[in-house]
C-alpha cells in the first residue's frame, strides 16, 4: 500500500511512455513510464485492449483530456482542479465539465468500496463488463489474481493498493481485496487493471513479482507492457510564482497556490451522477502565466523548477545533442584562438638581459675606438724635448739608393734594409765619434750582403 497525503500535487495519471501514448496505441512497461517521469512510486492504472493496445475508458492526464469513453459506465477515479477527489460513476457531461475540470481521471472496473461498505454486487449490475478481458464478469470478480486498486481514507489521503498474483493460482479476488481495504480504513475505492498487468515500481525499479513469463526465455518472469500509470511524484510548485520563475498555466500542468486536500466525507449522490465526492480544497482561480526561466530555458511542467526533468528519450537526445554542440563550440574556439594567437614575445627578464648585454657591447666598442684613436694620435705627434727628428729613408737615400739596393725577393730586401735603418738611426741619435757616418752605413750593408 502507498499512502499519498496530498494527491492533488503528488499524483498524476500518465499515458504509456509519453504524451500521446494512448493516441499512438502504445504499451510500455510501468518501469519505463515511471522512470522517464521521475515517479517515486508507480503502479499500473487503466484497462486497455490487449490486441490493439488502445487505452480504454476515460483518461485525463495532468489537466489534458486524453480520452473520453463516450459515457461508458464503469467505476472512475479522478481529481478535480479544486482538489475534490471523485470515486464512482460519472456521466459524460461530468467528465467534460469545464467549470471545475478534472486534473486527473482514469477508469477502472468495479466499485469496490462505497462510503466504507463493499459495493461489488451493485457494480455487477451497473457496469459494462466488456472493458475487462478475463472472461465472464462474475469470473473476473471471483478469481484469485494479481490486483491493483486506488482509494482514500477518512483523513483525505489517497491509498494505492497492489498485490502480486497469478490468475487462478495466487493473489486475491475482488471480495477479499475489498475487505482488506476496508480493514485498513479505506472509505471509497475502485478496482484497476490487474492480473498480469498488476505492477508496482519504486524509484524506477520493479518492486513486484510479475506473473507473465519472459520471451523468449520462459524461465524468467517479466513485467507486462501496459497502458496508463498512476505516478506518485514530489509535490508540484507550491508558491504562486513558481519560486520566482513566474506562475504556471493549466496547459503546463502545474497548479500553484492550492491548499492540501481536506478530510474526505461522503456526500449524497448528485442526481446526474453516482459518485462519492469530497469538498473542494480551495477556491483559488488557476493562474495563466507561463513559467519563465533564465536564458529561455523551459521550466518543469510538474514542479515549476527551472531544472526541468524531461522524459528519458528526450533527456538522452538533448544530452547527446548538447555534448555534440559543446564539442563543436570548443573546437571552433580553439581554432579561432590559434589563428589570432600572436607570436611569442620575450619576457621582461629576457628584455633586461638583452638590453644589458647590448649596452655592455656598445660600451666596450666605444672604449676600443677611444683607445685606437688615442694611439693613432700619439704615433703621429712628434716627440718633444728630443734632439733627433724622424727622416724617412727615401729622403736619405734618394732614388739612386733605392735602385742600387733593389733585390729580387722581398725577404732578402727586408734583411738588408733593417741594418741600414738601424745604422742610420744610430748616426742620428749618438753624439759619439766612433759611430760610423751615414756613408759608412751603405758600405756596411754591402759588406753584410
416 pLDDT above the threshold of 70: no
Mean pLDDT for the chain overall: 75
C-alpha pair distances (Å), 437 with each of 5, 94, 157: 144, 156, 148
Q: pLDDT: is 416 or 312 the higher one? A: 312
Q: Work out the pLDDT band at 40, boundaries 50, 70, 90.
A: very high
Cβ count near 348 (within 10 Å) = 8
The residue count of the chain comes to: 449
Helix/strand/coil for 237 = coil
Angstrom CA distances, 131 to 13, 178, 300, 340, stand at: 19, 20, 35, 71
- In the predicted model, is pLDDT for residue 335 greater than 90? no
Give the separation between CA 32 and CA 14, rounded to whole angstroms.
Answer: 11
pLDDT at 331: 84
User: Cβ distance 145 to 167 under 8 Å?
Assistant: yes
pLDDT of 211 > 70? The answer is: yes
Confidence of residue 216 (pLDDT cuts 50, 70, 90): confident
306: helix, coil or strand? Answer: coil
In terms of pLDDT, which residue wins out, 360 or 240?
360
3-state secondary structure 89-129: ECCHHHHHCCCCCEEEEEECCCEEEECCEECHHHHHHHCCC
Report the C-alpha gap between 166 and 174 in whole angstroms: 14
Q: What strands lie across the sheet with 274-277, from one edge to the other?
A: 64-67, 59-61, 102-107, 76-80, 85-89, 274-277
Question: What φ, ψ does residue 381 adopt, rounded to 5°?
Answer: -80, 130
What is the mean pLDDT of the segment spanning 89-114? 91
Cis peptide before 216 (omega within 30 of 0): yes
pLDDT at residue 238 in the model: 53
- Choose between 373 and 261: higher pLDDT: 373
pLDDT at 117: 93
Q: Is 447 left (phi over 0), alpha (psi -120 to 50) or beta?
A: alpha
> What pLDDT does residue 190 have?
94
C-alpha to C-alpha distance for 112 and 181, rounded to whole angstroms: 9
pLDDT attached to residue 202: 93
User: In angstroms, how far is CA 15 from the centroid of its own chain?
Assistant: 26
Of 24-28, 378-382, 404-408, which gets the smallest average pLDDT? 404-408
Mean pLDDT check: name the lowest of 227-241, 257-271, 433-447.
257-271
Greater model confidence, 435 or 182:
182
Residue showing cell 510538474: 302
CB-CB contact of 72 with 132 (8 Å): no
Residue 182 in grid coordinates: 476496508
Of 161, 190, 175, 179, give the one whose Cα is nearest residue 86: 190
Gap between the Cα atoms of 164 and 88, Å rounded: 25
Across the beta sheet with 41-44, the strand order is 11-14, 229-232, 41-44, 200-202, 205-206
- d(C-alpha 288, C-alpha 320), whole Å: 33
- Residue 235 pLDDT > 70, yes or no? yes
Find the mean pLDDT for residues 405-413: 46
| Percent of the chain residues topping a pLDDT of 90 | 25
The predicted model gives 403-429 an average pLDDT of: 50
Candidates 373, 1, 344, 328; CA nearest to 153 is 1
Choose the most confident range, by mean pLDDT, from 232-246, 259-273, 369-383: 369-383
**Cα diameter, the chain:** 172
Element containing residue 250 per DSSP (H, E): none
Residue-wise pLDDT for 257-311, tens only, equals: 223 333 333 322 223 346 665 543 333 333 334 555 655 566 665 556 665 555 5
The secondary structure of 54-89, three-state, reads CECCCEEECCEEEECCCCCCCCEEEEECCCCEEEEE
Weakest mean pLDDT among 217-221, 363-367, 380-384? 380-384
Mean pLDDT of 100-129: 90
Using the structure block, give the residue that is written with the C-alpha cell 513469463: 213
Q: How sure is the predictor about 144, in pLDDT bands with cuts at 50, 70 and 90? A: very high
Cross-strand partners of 85: 79
Task: Report pLDDT for 184.
Answer: 93
Amino acid at each position: 500500500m502507498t499512502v499519498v497525503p496530498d494527491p492533488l500535487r503528488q499524483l498524476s495519471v500518465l499515458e504509456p511512455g509519453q504524451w500521446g501514448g494512448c493516441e499512438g496505441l502504445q504499451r510500455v512497461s510501468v518501469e519505463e513510464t515511471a522512470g522517464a517521469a521521475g515517479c517515486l512510486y508507480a503502479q499500473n492504472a487503466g484497462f486497455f485492449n490487449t490486441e490493439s493496445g488502445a487505452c480504454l475508458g476515460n483518461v485525463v492526464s495532468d489537466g489534458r483530456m486524453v480520452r473520453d469513453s463516450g459515457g461508458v459506465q464503469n467505476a472512475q477515479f479522478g481529481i478535480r482542479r479544486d482538489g475534490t477527489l471523485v470515486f464512482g460513476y460519472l456521466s459524460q457531461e461530468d467528465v467534460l465539465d469545464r467549470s471545475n475540470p478534472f486534473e486527473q481521471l482514469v477508469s477502472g472496473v468495479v466499485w469496490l468500496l462505497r462510503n466504507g461498505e463493499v459495493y461489488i454486487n451493485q457494480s455487477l449490475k451497473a457496469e459494462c463488463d466488456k472493458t475487462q478481458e478475463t472472461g465472464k464478469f462474475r469470473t473476473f470478480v471471483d478469481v484469485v489474481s494479481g490486483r491493483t486498486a486506488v482509494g482514500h481514507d477518512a483523513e483525505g489521503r489517497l491509498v494505492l493498493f497492489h498485490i502480486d498474483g497469478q490468475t487462478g493460482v495466487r493473489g486475491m479476488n475482488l471480495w477479499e481485496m475489498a475487505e482488506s481495504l476496508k480493514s485498513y480504513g479505506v472509505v471509497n475505492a475502485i478496482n484497476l487493471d490487474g492480473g498480469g498487468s498488476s505492477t508496482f515500481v519504486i524509484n524506477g525499479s520493479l518492486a513486484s513479482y510479475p506473473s507473465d513469463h519472459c520471451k523468449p526465455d520462459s524461465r524468467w518472469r517479466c513485467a507486462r507492457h501496459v497502458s496508463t500509470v498512476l505516478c506518485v511524484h514530489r509535490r508540484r510548485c507550491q508558491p504562486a510564482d513558481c519560486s520566482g520563475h513566474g506562475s504556471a498555466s493549466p496547459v503546463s500542468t502545474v497548479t500553484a497556490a492550492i491548499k492540501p486536500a481536506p478530510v474526505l466525507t461522503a456526500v449524497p449522490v448528485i442526481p446526474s451522477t453516482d459518485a462519492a465526492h469530497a469538498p473542494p480544497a480551495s477556491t483559488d482561480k488557476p493562474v495563466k502565466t507561463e513559467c519563465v526561466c533564465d536564458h529561455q530555458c523551459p521550466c518543469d511542467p510538474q514542479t515549476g523548477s527551472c531544472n526541468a526533468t524531461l522524459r528519458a528519450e528526450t533527456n538522452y537526445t538533448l544530452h547527446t545533442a548538447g555534448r555534440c554542440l559543446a564539442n563543436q563550440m570548443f573546437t571552433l574556439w580553439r581554432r579561432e584562438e590559434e589563428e589570432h594567437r600572436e607570436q611569442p614575445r620575450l619576457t621582461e627578464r629576457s628584455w633586461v638581459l638583452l638590453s644589458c648585454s647590448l649596452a655592455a657591447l656598445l660600451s666596450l666598442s666605444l672604449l676600443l675606438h677611444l683607445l685606437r684613436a688615442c694611439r693613432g694620435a700619439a704615433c703621429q705627434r712628434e716627440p718633444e724635448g728630443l734632439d733627433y727628428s724622424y727622416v724617412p729613408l727615401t729622403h736619405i737615400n734618394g732614388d739612386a739608393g733605392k735602385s742600387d739596393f733593389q733585390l729580387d725577393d722581398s725577404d732578402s730586401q727586408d734583411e738588408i734594409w733593417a741594418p741600414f735603418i738601424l745604422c742610420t738611426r744610430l748616426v742620428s741619435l749618438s753624439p759619439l765619434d766612433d759611430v760610423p757616418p751615414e756613408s759608412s752605413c751603405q758600405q756596411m750593408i754591402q759588406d753584410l750582403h
